[in-house]
Amino acid sequence: MDIYVGNLPYSVTDSDLQDLFSQYGEVSSARVVMDRETGRAKGFGFVEMRDSADANKAIEALNGTDMSGRALRVNESQPKPRTGGGGGGGGGRGGRW
């Protein structure tokens, strides 16, 4: 199960996230999302746990808990909404050109 973790302190690393969630079961992966331009954490990340029961225990236990003065927001990750794709053409100029 994929888990979204929001409102993370900017100092949190992938291994910090893995350590936090491994208290509740086996963690397949843990990743803090980084800003490509600045190299700084964006304040959220994703954790993948193999067992759904363990993942639900982690969500229940960690949602709203304090981490370095920030209340974590932890829930099941939702699929990224699909956009309509390509976008339309920009109509002609009209007029007498």
For residue 13, what are the domain limits?
Answer: 2-71
What pLDDT, on the 0 to 100 scale, is given for residue 64? Answer: 98
What pLDDT, on the 0 to 100 scale, is given for residue 51? Answer: 97
What pLDDT, on the 0 to 100 scale, is given for residue 19? Answer: 97
Residue 85: inside a domain:
no
What is the Cα–Cα distance from 53 to 24, expressed in whole angstroms?
9
Residue 8: inside a domain:
yes
Q: Average pLDDT in the 14-21 region?
A: 97
3-class DSSP state of 17: helix
What is the Cα–Cα distance from 3 to 75, expressed in whole angstroms?
6
Residue 7: inside a domain:
yes
Residue 66, CA distances (Å) to 48, 53, 61, 74, 88 in order: 21, 23, 11, 12, 46
* Number of domains the chain contains: 1
Residue 55's domain is classified under what CATH number? 3.30.70.330
